[in-house]
Structure 1
């Protein structure tokens, strides 16, 4: 039996070659004009801020400490480093290393799964580490958790004794598949996937593959930023995926994109929302969304121009400032490089199109509601909601779910892209099986925007410390036994290690924060034994 969270069969468009090429030509022109107009607006906006003196409000501030954590130097010698699209380069700059695996979803998409390791460890010691999976947001990738260096969440979790894995959704920076052939970038069937596919296929495949490499553990901790949080919530809601949900020891939502924020009333997002299905096809095609952005990233991503334009666009389109990112702008560039991944037009319909009646458009509240603070109140007179919304505000989402995954939600006080307060209000008022202080907690971080929860130089103090405090009360199962042959579940075909470990030593300096010990509990039975 299927439900609204289970992907439908792929719909094959029987278009003539002439129509297909017409769409490609029109959408190429439309995408180029759309990006060009926004880029020019971003450049003018930045220089307007420069001339008027407003740019000083976007500049980084001095951060002494956050809950006892003092931000560290991101890298030993940032000046000698060069921006690169090689993610392993940044791991090695921290005296760590990165392994890469290729894993395949049940519908044939080949995903890239990363593992951040201490190369001085033996495999036996590494097996004892508790698994922690980090899932990225929209148009981003695994690099978002690494490139801020020793202030990154991934680095901190390795310090704390966790086996850190970083997932990537389908298409990433490369369109690959097991049976679709030819030029996949113009293959409409390949790109016929959306939000439910990521929650039903990609995330479970990543989870299963991580655990297939952890024969002594039958659960993992999961953190999802923005879309990574949305994927998780959809998976948790799906009664067909309870066998995956029960493998999550604890879930940490980092500004999860469950509800849209007031920024979806901005002009360019309203423009997208008001386009018809035909309008979307003519503007963006029926394959990859703004493929030209991905192309520019490949060509100029390592240059200063890309770093500047990325900052200008983030500030102009979403109002994000860099006050919490640290003063080293080269590190900003490192972070920017691992954005603008390939995603489908169908996926963007979930976020931006009004005709997609189960997505963001179905739960976006009137602008007045956000202005007077009623967007999260139970009895708002401005309440508005579509009947097919994935996340109805006044109905329980998990009532029929056998597994209630314990969770902690982190929201940003000035995050206007997603509505964290509305999500928290729903959980407190309409989820009776979730009790604050028991299996549900939330933290609203002052002066944090949507990206600060993964890029801020003091996020370890605000987020990392709280994660460790919560997890030290959890029990990850571990069994002392001889190594067993790793067999990947049928939904997750065998993985292959791409990179090898190097015999470097992990640098542990006096700069690092006081560690919260993570103990391995022996003699507990594991389902993988």
Structure 2
């Protein structure tokens, strides 16, 4: 354990201070094209000037049919990117599975991550660029990307797939903009994060008392970038985390510390590619907002510490979209108790299914990179999709 903490102490400053321009050479494009699938890059400008990267697998290399197809829109979690949906390869990555099943697959990227670091007027080196949290991702980024996809494809509705923060932002949007339901045919939320009072992450428990209190951090931290994607991480993965490395167990333990310990399901061979693409960057305010959720036990707007402007709870009970939830027992970030609280808040007609992953050690990141992921997760997702499509 002492080795683990030394590794964390050295690694975190290294990532945070890494030069911004030296990003990893492994990208969503290289990962998709490696398997012979078609790939498209699109850009969407939001109403407040952020230019978001949208990635598309228009049709399957195996099926080779490029006609009209239903749309699957995938949205990543905190510090992640579109790359996470394709890292596991053609047999196990959700983006490829949906493509082979006949879906037009689009993968979003939230403002500030590796593929969405441009702005009409602001440079990422300016603190003002980073003045946002996942509320803006839900209320501005998601509608901009989904409406662009609908326009490009001619499809009125999309099937939405979100992991972690991709579930949070979806719940924000659909609780505050109930008219958006007409654009969503079904929503599949993996490791859903809304209420966080019972989360088990030791890092969150350590940070929340200081950084989850607006009065304590407002005068210390400004608007900053947190853990950008760098070439240094790619080199670290190649040198220290490969199968023959004596340090590989430390690499996986750093991941477990955040997500939940699960040595059985960790695809350790994939660690170098994981570190080359993740973390993908975020705003510090995204982190602070989650820490506030942990402290308050509420699912509510960002607390700016203003006495006359208290944060409002997100009205989850107003959501009117067919939702399927997928959760697990060993998730440090999305506890079973908090997911059950979310279930009780959702309308009975809205919550169409809730699946607990069978494996008792399944953690927060196994939803992206876990071994036996089809048996544990994807088979249930595809069955739920069939249920909706057959109605």
CA deviations over 1:251-298 (Å, ceiling 9, x no partner): 00100111226445626643343245576467654221245xx44646
Structure 1 equivalent of residue 187 of structure 2: 251
- CA deviation after TM superposition for structure 1 residue 312, in Å: 3.3
Structure 1 equivalent of residue 175 of structure 2: 237
What is the rounded CA distance, in whole Å, between the counterparts of 2:95 and 2:274 in structure 1? 14
Structure 1 equivalent of residue 306 of structure 2: none
CA deviations over 1:39-92 (Å, ceiling 9, x no partner): 515599xxxxxxxxxxxxxxxxxxxxxxxxxxxxxxxxxxxxxx9522222222
- CA deviation after TM superposition for structure 1 residue 458, in Å: 2.0
Structure 1 equivalent of residue 156 of structure 2: 218
Q: TM-score, normalising length from structure 2? A: 0.80
What is the rounded CA distance, in whole Å, between the counterparts of 2:260 and 2:386 in structure 1? 37
Query: Would you say the 8 A contact 1:90–1:147 is kept in 2?
Result: yes
Structure 1 equivalent of residue 224 of structure 2: 287
What is the rounded CA distance, in whole Å, between the counterparts of 2:158 and 2:382 in structure 1? 14
- Structure 2 counterpart SS, 1:457: coil
Structure 1 equivalent of residue 6 of structure 2: 40
Structure 2 unaligned regions, length at least 5: 11-23, 243-247, 300-309
Structure 2 equivalent of residue 441 of structure 1: 353
CA deviations over 1:146-175 (Å, ceiling 9, x no partner): 101121111111111111111110111262
1:207 lines up with 2:146 in the alignment? yes
CA deviations over 1:468-495 (Å, ceiling 9, x no partner): 22222334xxxxxxxxxxxxxxxxxxxx
Query: Would you say the 8 A contact 2:198–2:294 is kept in 1?
Result: no
1:196 lines up with 2:135 in the alignment? yes
- Structure 1 counterpart SS, 2:194: coil
What is the rounded CA distance, in whole Å, between the counterparts of 1:204 and 1:325 in structure 2? 34
What is the rounded CA distance, in whole Å, between the counterparts of 1:263 and 1:311 in structure 2? 20
Structure 2 equivalent of residue 11 of structure 1: none
- CA deviation after TM superposition for structure 1 residue 310, in Å: 4.4
- CA deviation after TM superposition for structure 1 residue 439, in Å: 5.0
Query: Would you say the 8 A contact 1:88–1:97 is kept in 2?
Result: no
Query: Would you say the 8 A contact 2:79–2:280 is kept in 1?
Result: yes
What is the rounded CA distance, in whole Å, between the counterparts of 1:259 and 1:439 in structure 2? 16
What is the rounded CA distance, in whole Å, between the counterparts of 1:264 and 1:414 in structure 2? 9
Query: Would you say the 8 A contact 1:153–1:459 is kept in 2?
Result: no
Equivalent of residue 411 in structure 1, options 313, 327, 334: 327
- Structure 2 counterpart SS, 1:474: helix
Q: Which moved more, 1:259-268 or 1:145-154?
A: 259-268
1:360 lines up with 2:297 in the alignment? no
What is the rounded CA distance, in whole Å, between the counterparts of 1:117 and 1:331 in structure 2? 26
Query: Would you say the 8 A contact 1:148–1:457 is kept in 2?
Result: no
Query: Would you say the 8 A contact 1:156–1:460 is kept in 2?
Result: no
- Structure 2 counterpart SS, 1:246: helix
What is the rounded CA distance, in whole Å, between the counterparts of 1:250 and 1:351 in structure 2? 25
* Alpha-carbon spacing, 1:91–1:465, altered in 2? closer, same or farther (3 Å): same
* Alpha-carbon spacing, 1:439–1:258, altered in 2? closer, same or farther (3 Å): closer
What is the rounded CA distance, in whole Å, between the counterparts of 2:339 and 2:224 in structure 1? 31
- Structure 2 counterpart SS, 1:168: coil
Q: TM-score, normalising length from structure 1? A: 0.60
- Structure 2 counterpart SS, 1:410: strand
Query: Would you say the 8 A contact 2:76–2:84 is kept in 1?
Result: yes
What is the rounded CA distance, in whole Å, between the counterparts of 1:261 and 1:297 in structure 2? 34
Structure 1 equivalent of residue 104 of structure 2: 163
1:184 lines up with 2:96 in the alignment? no
Query: Would you say the 8 A contact 2:265–2:371 is kept in 1?
Result: yes
Structure 2 equivalent of residue 136 of structure 1: 76
- Structure 1 counterpart SS, 2:41: strand
